[in-house]
Amino acid sequence: MTTQPMKHLLACISLLLACSALAQPPAAARDTHLHPYTAIYQAVYKNFPLQATHRLEPAGNDWHFSSIASGFFGQIEENATFAYNGKNLLPLHYRYFRSVLGHERQTEFIYNQKDKLVAASKGGKTVTLKLQGDELDQGTYMLALRDDVANGVKETCYKVVEEREIDQYCFRVTGNETIETAIGKLDTLVVERVRKAESPRRTRFWFAPSLDYTIAKLEHQEQKGQTAYSLEITYYKRDGR
């Protein structure tokens, strides 16, 4: 039988344990690497040299991401506006424009997130696609991938709006690599898009933790052994610092 002093001691121990539990800090919130920044790259598009600039900046209550690559032969431009709730990116508008050697191509997505619809336009023709609520586009999936890699995600998939359909893009962290760049050696995480084994296409990203997990290098192949598009970083600044 437990004595009264013993009961009192046990009660005190229970109270101390309860207070200790209450004093513990809450579980860490999901870290985000969605910060305003400017990155400049030496780029190559189908053997043509370019200079590319990536810029992420606030746009009122929303965010705007732009990627502009230009050279003597033409320009490739992407612009994406999206909302951010601290965890997920919600696309609002996307525009792709390419003018190369006199040949132009333009694509635009206008989102109606309230009704879960997106109007996808190309060449004067528009189709309306139904959304489920977690779709991204070419401008926003790279930001989501960057954020997931920064948070230790090793494999992930995204639903990405394309011109006439919604496709699934999957990615896998394949290793670590130290690369030489114009701004010095950078330790990076290498991420590759997962494709069918027989596909000749290959897309790889090198994310640099020291640059807030910004892309330090990118290579995309349309045919085996032939790089169709590449980026290598030459400048980085986290805006607002």
How do residues 188-223 score in pLDDT, each as one tens digit? 999 999 999 889 989 999 999 999 999 999 999 988
pLDDT at 38 over 90: yes
Of residues 225 and 237, the one with the higher pLDDT is 237
pLDDT bin (cut points 50, 70, 90) of residue 241 is low
pLDDT at 239: 83
Mean pLDDT value across residues 7-26: 37
Q: What is the pLDDT of residue 15?
A: 37
Mean pLDDT across the chain: 86
Tell me which of 133 and 233 has the higher pLDDT: 233
Q: Of residues 46 and 69, which shows the higher confidence score?
A: 69
Over its C-alpha atoms, the chain yields an Rg (Å, rounded) of 23
**Residue 6 pLDDT more than 50?**
no
Which residue in 142, 136, 141 sits closest to 207, CA to CA?
A: 142
Of 21-30, 99-108, 199-208, 217-226, which gets the smallest average pLDDT?
21-30
Report the pLDDT value the prediction gives residue 26, as an integer from 0 to 100.
Answer: 35
> 148, 88 in Cβ contact below 8 A?
no
> Residue 92 has what pLDDT?
97
Reading the block at residue 152, the tokens are: 């230790």
* Neighbour-count burial of 125, counting CB atoms closer than 10 A to its CB (0-12 exposed, 13-18 middle, 19+ buried): exposed
| pLDDT of residue 5 exceeding 80 | no
How many alpha carbons fall within 13 Å on the CB side of residue 219? 13
Is 8's pLDDT higher than 80? Answer: no
Mean pLDDT of 101-110: 89
Domain ranges of the chain: 30-238
Closest CA to 113 of 78, 67, 82, 143: 82
Helices (H), the chain: 4-23, 141-150
Taking 90 as the threshold, does the pLDDT of residue 175 lie above it?
Answer: yes
CB environment 79-118: b (16+ within 10 A), e (fewer) = bbbbebeeeebbbbbbbbebeeeeeeeebbbbbeeeeeeb
Residue 28 has pLDDT above 60, yes or no: no
pLDDT at 33: 61
pLDDT of 62 strictly over 50: yes
Q: With the C-alpha atoms ordered 149, 152, 154, 155, is the resulting torsion angle positive or negative?
A: negative
pLDDT band per the 50, 70, 90 thresholds, residue 86 = confident
CATH class of 30-238: mainly beta
